[in-house]
Amino acid sequence: MEDFESAIIDYDAAILITDDSDELYYDSLASRGASYYFLGDFTNAIADLTLVIDNVTVSVQSYAVRGESYYFQENWQLALADFNTVIELDNTNAGSFANRGLIHYYLGNQSSALEDWEEAFSLNPDISTSFRDGVQQLIRYELYPTALQRVNDIILLDAYNGVTRWQNNFYRAYIHLQLGNNLDAILDATLVIEDGGDEALSSMPEILLVRSEGYLNLGFLESGLEDANDYILLAPDDREGYAMRGNIHFADDNFELALS
């Protein structure tokens, strides 16, 4: 997060001292717009990228990033226009077709959405995994509302492809918890545990802590304690499990156990 904020300061300086007839001026605008995008500041990203698009040679990247910025603002028509341009300029990128299909879906254009998704999966059968990598990045930058939108998008894409992945619910459970949506976090975590079974618990045991914290926040202390205990059995060397159990004992006024 700090890297992008520092980058914006440097791009501000470059833009300030560069004449707008210089190519560097628009390169800096484009880079600053991308930095705003990664900070979740879609309004400023759109402003910078629009200046680039209006004044220099057409850039696929600028249209794509502006299109996604419109997308995350739920400005579907403008997002659609940008992705139409992106695909006209480069019809080999699976992500562009997947994004345009999602826009069509939210606009209610089901047949167009299916056509774009078919093309996306033909270009990259594993496009959902690429999108999931993006979710991890959004979580790392703590852009939780945007990450939630993206996880829901991935679930749509996987449903189209006839696939159900408990990993999607893992990410969504964690995001819901960060957003304070405790019941939704519990529901998604339960789906992970039930659908993923031993594979989920062995590869992502943290899902027990997610559900445990959701239970704690809602006052379901017994259920939260059970999940914390199960996590400690799976990861006895991780202090997070003990900390969670201590928090639950503390909330239950069991101070001696909390201190232990």
What is the pLDDT at residue 7?
86
- The DSSP secondary structure of 131-189, one letter per residue, reads HHHHHHHHHHTT-HHHHHHHHHHHHHHHHHTT---HHHHHHHHHHHHHTT-HHHHHHHH
Average pLDDT over residues 86-113: 96
More confident residue, 5 or 211: 211
Strand, helix or coil for residue 92: coil
Non-local (6+) Cβ contacts of 232 within 8 A are 238, 241, 242, 245
Contact 118, 94 (CB under 8 A): no
The DSSP secondary-structure symbol of 219 reads T
> Which band of pLDDT confidence, cut at 50, 70 and 90, is reported for residue 259?
low
Backbone angles phi, psi at 206, to 5 degrees: -60, -15
Q: What is the DSSP letter of 56?
A: S
Q: What local confidence, expressed as pLDDT, does residue 256 receive?
A: 57
| Backbone φ/ψ region at 220: left (φ over 0), alpha (ψ -120 to 50), beta | beta
Q: How confident is the model at residue 1 (pLDDT cuts 50, 70, 90)?
A: low
Query: What confidence score (pLDDT) does residue 67 get?
Result: 97
Q: What is the DSSP letter of 22?
A: S
Is 59's pLDDT higher than 70? yes
Please report, rounded to a whole number, the percentage of residues in the chain having pLDDT higher than 70. Answer: 97
Question: Confidence class of residue 12 from pLDDT cuts 50, 70 and 90?
Answer: confident
pLDDT score recorded for residue 260: 56
Encode pLDDT of 240-257 as tens digits: 999 999 999 989 776 555
Predicted pLDDT at 2: 61
pLDDT digits (tens, 9 = 90+) for 69-96: 999 999 999 999 999 999 999 999 999 9
Give yes or no for residue 50 having a pLDDT over 80.
yes
Across the range 146-169, mean pLDDT stands at: 92
Average pLDDT, the chain: 92
pTM of the model: 0.88
